[in-house]
Chain A
Amino acid sequence: MSEKRRYSFSWDLIGQVDARTELGPYAGLEMYRLMQFTMRDILEQHYGTETADTLFREAGELAGRKFFDHYFSRDLEFPAFVSMLEDVFRKQRAGIVRIEEADLEKGELVLSVGEDLDCSGLPELEHEFCAYDEGLIAGILMQYTGKEVRAKEIDCWCTGDRTCRFAVTISL
Chain B
Amino acid sequence: MTHSAGTKECNDKGESSPVSEPAEILSLLFDALYKGKCDGIPSNILLEKPEREELEKLLAYVKDLQTGLQGLAKGDFTVPSRLRGYSGGLLKALQSNLRHLIWKSDALAGGNFSQRIDFMGDVSISFNGMAQRLELAHKNLTEHQQRLELLYSDLQQEVEARKKVEKELRNLATIDMLTGIANRRHFLQLARREMERMRRSGTPAALAMLDIDRFKTINDV
Instruction: Please say whether chains A and B are actual partners in one complex.
Output: yes
Question: Residues of A at under 8 Å CB distance from B?
Answer: 77, 79-80, 82-83, 98-102, 110, 112, 114, 124, 155, 157-163, 165
Given known pairs A157-B88, A157-B89, A158-B86, the reply for A99 and B100 (CB within 8 Å) is yes
Task: Report which residue of A82, A157, A160 has the largest number of chain B beta carbons within 10 angstroms of its beta carbon.
Answer: A157
Chain A residues within 8 Å of B110, by CB: 79
Contact A83 B115 (CB under 8 A): yes
Chain B residues within 8 Å of A83, by CB: 112, 114-116
Contact B93 A159 (CB under 8 A): yes
Contact B81 A155 (CB under 8 A): yes
Residue B90 CB within 8 A of the other chain: yes
Interface range on chain B: under 10, 10 to 19, 20 to 34, or 35 or more?
Answer: 20 to 34
Contact A100 B112 (CB under 8 A): no
B60 to chain A, nearest CB (A): 17
**Residue from the list A80, A102, A161, A165 in contact with B103, Cβ < 8 A:** A102
**Residue from the list A80, A99, A124, A163 in contact with B93, Cβ < 8 A:** A163
Residue B145 CB within 8 A of the other chain: no
- Mostly helix, strand, loop or mixed at chain A's interface? mixed
Contact B96 A124 (CB under 8 A): no
Contact A163 B92 (CB under 8 A): yes
Contact A159 B90 (CB under 8 A): yes
Chain A residues within 8 Å of B86, by CB: 158-160
**Residue from the list B84, B97, B99 in contact with A124, Cβ < 8 A:** B84
Instruction: Give bound CA distance, A8 to B86, whole Å.
Output: 41
Chain B residues within 8 Å of A165, by CB: 92, 96
Offer 22 A-B interface pairs, CB within 8 angstroms, sorted by A: A79-B110, A79-B112, A80-B114, A83-B116, A98-B99, A99-B100, A100-B103, A101-B99, A101-B103, A102-B103, A110-B99, A112-B100, A157-B84, A157-B85, A157-B89, A158-B89, A159-B89, A159-B93, A161-B93, A162-B89, A163-B92, A165-B96
Instruction: Give bound CA distance, A171 to B151, whole Å.
Output: 49
18 additional contacts (CB under 8 A) given A80-B114, A112-B96, A124-B84: A79-B107, A79-B112, A79-B114, A79-B115, A100-B96, A100-B100, A114-B93, A114-B96, A155-B92, A157-B84, A157-B92, A158-B84, A158-B85, A158-B86, A158-B89, A159-B90, A161-B93, A163-B92
